[in-house]
Amino acid sequence: MPTLDKIKTVTIVGAGSWGTSIAIVIGESKPKLKIKMWAYEKSVVSSINNRRENSQFLPGTLIPKNVSATTSLKESLLQSDVVLIATPSKIVYDISQKIKKYISNKTHIGFLTKGFCKVDQEILTISQTISAAIPWAEGKVVAVCGPSHAEEVVNKYHTCLNVAGKSEFPRKIVAQLISTPYLQCRETDDIHGVELGGTLKNPAAIAAGMISVLPKCGDNLAGALISEALKEMLLLAKVFKARKETIIDISGLGDLVATALSEHSRNRRFGIDISNQIVKNKKRLDLIERFVLKFKPEDIIEKMSKKLNYLAEGAYAIEPLIELAEKHDIAIPVYRSLYEVLLNKKSPSLLIETIKNPGKFKQIYSRTKIQISERKKGLEKVKGNAYINIIIERTVKKITAAENESLNKKFSREKIISRLKEFVEDSSSSSSIKLKRRELKIIESLNEKNYENSIKILAKLYVNSITDSFNPVFNWIFIKIMQFSYILNFFAGRKGKITISGSKEKINQIDESVNIIYVPTYRSYYDFIPLCYSIKKGRFPFPRFFVSKDIVKSARDQWLIKLAGGFIVNPARMTNPIYRESLSEYISVMIEHGIPLLYFPQHKPEPDGAGKNIRIDFFEMIVESLFKHTIEIVLVPVEISYLEKPPEKISRKVTILKNLKQKAIINFSDPIYLSDFTTDNNSVDQINEIIKSVWENDSISNDFGIKLNSDEMIL
């Protein structure tokens, strides 16, 4: 039987709460051993070495003197006899490749990490991942797993763990290393069964935390959840040929129960936090935030935006399970429902109903909308410029990060470079000379080495060219000028009368709880003028409004329009992927912060108002925003008709003030709730067809004659 006689130094790679607790267990029970810890955070290293505690991850617990910490991976591994990996699962492969440089094939390797890794597009367990990075370790890696809250272990609560490995010698070394009178190790050669149990229980614990704070959910439903999760764990275990008895042992069922129900469980707390944010999500600014908003809007915006990323960790934990199940055609409805709630923002009712009746998951899923919360209030008057840094950051992240995601080929580096080069060759991409020169210079010099920096520079150029500079005072002046001009034109007999009709009452009833996007037909480049006037006179929520770059010919015009609340779109640039995503993120951020929009989905006017050339990418933008922010978006179709044809040619002679002489009839149709389409994967096409249908059916005039509805109102 192997002994610890030749073991002098043990390294724990990772200094989280569990890694620290194991270092304490070994350090206290084997005081003659040297325990070295590697930590990424300098503050953690300083705390361990100077204060003898890990104040960040395991505060209040004394760390033995034979335990030391360092930020140097090389230093922590030199002359190490046993290495225990305790990092997050997503960096196990990279850290294992680095570890390989500093250890020999005589070093025993174990791990405390739970989860899956993706290596070369293949989903691997932790032991498989370590073996892929360190080939000579295959068959010798040891897993340590079981119901083991760090808070209980360091306080010497009785604990049972599985120590698993195909090779008996390293398995026994690790078991002896961590065994104490209060910590019992059970050895097994079913390493895949042990690590699968430890991995699969985590999402189930998140689900348990979620339902624990949802209305009418208690211990009864928690018991059903654990039962159903265990069934699905057994199905997934077959993929890795794990033994059934291992899954129902301590590292499977035992760990599932402990993690799902314990107050110490981080996964359970994570689930509770998600549900609390869904149920009690705060959208209105308090008094202090409203005060600060007037002087430093960027601070409040940044603070509120950070709250939107809380779902990422849960989605990461469960996504590989869904891929595995789909690949092997295994039905796991409870895990799938959790995935849909976390990643696709479905209502938590999907999880509850699936636990109750997993056999009807498809039917339940087909009628479940996404979870909708109230819109943010209090940011309606913040200028778009205040969001510029957020918009740029998200655009760059989306373009540069997506290339590493196997399921998203839209933004591969090669495609982006190719599309940008094609855009440069297209002479139709009209723009200001100054902007175009900078743009062409950046794109023409774009290559693999300067890729990320170039994308950031382009995104900054485009976001600045699009974003509004809304000023309440100037917006008021803009509206008053229109009102005064219409009145003068009316009394002078020069037409200029606006007639509006439609769903005024319905629109005014919903503006407190939803984000409104007006989607009008587009007959003239200057349609935004009568539309803005009608919205203001109808006392509807006033939007940031679409203005085509084709009529903004000078820097002065651009400045004035943006101050009034206009954002400027260059239709010729929509083939440029960076420009398109910059616009998409601007729209998304406006929606996220409760700011209404007026957007022409056609981009180019159609004087007959037929609505033929709708850009489908606009509906893709807003559906993506709906799922990202779970704030209800309502589309208000608007039909605009003129007594006579508006100017078709773009001319310097056709000014904004001249367009005020046009006599227009504007109809506001019934609001369309986008959440009604979240049960269907084909929602974008559906919304597109419905908008076109509403435009056609509700249009006041198709031939420039007047034909008012019975509920007309004259301004």
Pick among 1.10.1040.10, 3.40.50.150, 1.10.3720.10, 3.50.30.30: CATH of 202-371 = 1.10.1040.10
- Flag whether pLDDT at 513 surpasses 90: no
Tokens, residue 556: 């002065």
Confidence of residue 715 (pLDDT cuts 50, 70, 90): very low
pLDDT in tens, 200-241: 998 999 999 999 999 899 999 999 999 999 999 999 999 999
Q: Which long-range contacts (CB under 8 A, 24 or more apart) does 65-69 make?
A: 66/27, 66/31, 66/32, 66/33, 66/34, 66/35, 67/23, 67/24, 67/27, 67/35, 67/36, 67/37, 68/34, 68/35, 68/36, 68/37, 69/15, 69/36, 69/37, 69/38, 69/39, 69/44, 69/45
- Flag whether pLDDT at 645 surpasses 90: no
Confidence of residue 99 (pLDDT cuts 50, 70, 90): very high
Distance in angstroms (rounded) separating the CA atoms of residues 420 and 415? 8
- What is the pLDDT at residue 482? 76
Strand partners, 145: 162
Diameter of the chain measured on Cα atoms: 107
Top-confidence range, 39-53, 271-285, 297-311: 39-53
Query: Residue ranges per domain, the chain?
Result: 9-189, 202-371, 387-466, 473-714
Per mean pLDDT, which range of 489-493, 536-540, 582-586 is the poorest? Answer: 489-493
Confidence of residue 621 (pLDDT cuts 50, 70, 90): confident
Average pLDDT over residues 62-78: 96
- Flag whether pLDDT at 123 surpasses 50: yes
pLDDT in tens, 241-283: 999 999 999 999 999 999 999 988 888 988 888 888 776 654 5
Count of CB atoms situated within 10 Å of the CB of 312: 11
Tokens, residue 560: 């004035």
Closest CA to 143 of 93, 82, 191: 191
Distance in angstroms (rounded) separating the CA atoms of residues 691 and 685? 10
CA angle 493, 523, 563 (to 5 degrees): 80
- Flag whether pLDDT at 652 surpasses 90: no
Tokens, residue 470: 């809304």
- What is the pLDDT at residue 22? 97
Strand partners, 144: 163
Higher-pLDDT residue of 305 and 692 is: 692
Higher-pLDDT residue of 425 and 420 is: 420
Distance in angstroms (rounded) separating the CA atoms of residues 61 and 242? 37
Residue 23 near residue 67 (C-beta atoms within 8 A): yes
- What is the pLDDT at residue 39? 95
Tokens, residue 259: 């993690």
- Flag whether pLDDT at 682 surpasses 60: yes
- Flag whether pLDDT at 408 surpasses 60: no
Distance in angstroms (rounded) separating the CA atoms of residues 415 and 109? 41
Closest CA to 644 of 514, 528, 542, 495: 495
- What is the pLDDT at residue 316? 58
Tokens, residue 476: 């008021």
Q: Is 409 a catalytic residue?
A: no
**668 exposure class (CB count in 10 Å sphere: 0-12, 13-18, 19+):** buried
Top-confidence range, 91-105, 311-325, 653-667: 91-105
Distance in angstroms (rounded) separating the CA atoms of residues 304 and 297? 11
Per mean pLDDT, which range of 15-19, 418-422, 502-506, 641-645 is the poorest? Answer: 641-645
From 30, 100, 172, 201, the catalytic residue: 201
pLDDT in tens, 164-188: 999 999 999 999 999 999 999 999 9
pLDDT in tens, 539-586: 899 999 999 998 887 888 899 999 999 999 998 888 888 999 999 999
- Flag whether pLDDT at 432 surpasses 50: yes
- What is the pLDDT at residue 504? 84
- Flag whether pLDDT at 495 surpasses 60: no
Identity of the residue numbered 18: W
Average pLDDT over residues 106-133: 93
- Three-state secondary structure along 284-342? ECCHHHHHHHHHCHHHHHHHHHHHHHCCHHHHHHHHHHHHHHHHCCCCCHHHHHHHHHH
Average pLDDT over residues 615-634: 85
Distance in angstroms (rounded) separating the CA atoms of residues 401 and 144? 33
- What is the pLDDT at residue 708? 40
Distance in angstroms (rounded) separating the CA atoms of residues 394 and 402? 11
Q: Where are the alpha helices (DSSP H) in 607-707?
A: 616-629, 656-659, 683-698
Residue 499 near residue 537 (C-beta atoms within 8 A): no
Identity of the residue numbered 378: G
- What is the pLDDT at residue 435? 66
Average pLDDT over residues 43-63: 95
Pick among 3.40.1130, 3.40.50, 2.30.230, 1.10.8: CATH of 473-714 = 3.40.1130
Strands 159-164 and 142-145, sheet pairing: antiparallel
Task: Specify the 3-state DSSP secondary structure of 204.
Answer: helix
- What is the pLDDT at residue 712? 38
What percentage of the chain has pLDDT greater than the value 70? Answer: 83
User: If you ran DSSP here, which 8-state letter would residue 541 be given?
Assistant: P
The CATH number given to 9-189 is 3.40.50.720
Average pLDDT in the chain: 84
What percentage of the chain has pLDDT greater than the value 90? Answer: 50
Higher-pLDDT residue of 630 and 375 is: 630
- Flag whether pLDDT at 662 surpasses 50: yes
Per mean pLDDT, which range of 318-327, 392-401, 425-434, 649-658 is the poorest? Answer: 649-658
Distance in angstroms (rounded) separating the CA atoms of residues 56 and 59? 6
Confidence of residue 153 (pLDDT cuts 50, 70, 90): very high
- What is the pLDDT at residue 433? 63
Higher-pLDDT residue of 403 and 324 is: 324
Count of CB atoms situated within 10 Å of the CB of 321: 24
- What is the pLDDT at residue 443? 83
- What is the pLDDT at residue 368? 85
Residue 593 near residue 470 (C-beta atoms within 8 A): no
Average pLDDT over residues 418-428: 69
Distance in angstroms (rounded) separating the CA atoms of residues 592 and 515? 9
Sheet of strand 159-164: strand arrangement: 67-70, 34-38, 9-13, 82-85, 108-111, 142-145, 159-164, 183-188
- What is the pLDDT at residue 313? 43
Distance in angstroms (rounded) separating the CA atoms of residues 405 and 412? 9
Average pLDDT over residues 676-689: 84
Tokens, residue 643: 């007594």
Confidence of residue 696 (pLDDT cuts 50, 70, 90): confident
Distance in angstroms (rounded) separating the CA atoms of residues 311 and 315? 6
Q: How far is CA 383 from CA 80, 149, 241, 386, in A?
A: 58, 48, 58, 6
Residues listed for the chain: 715
Higher-pLDDT residue of 370 and 561 is: 561
- What is the pLDDT at residue 607? 74
Count of CB atoms situated within 10 Å of the CB of 273: 16
Q: Please state whether 498 falls in left (phi above 0), alpha (psi between -120 and 50) or beta.
A: beta
- Flag whether pLDDT at 286 surpasses 90: no
Average pLDDT over residues 141-149: 95
Residue spans of beta strands (DSSP E) within 538-620:
544-548, 566-569, 597-598
- Flag whether pLDDT at 616 surpasses 90: no
Strands 597-598 and 159-164, sheet pairing: unpaired
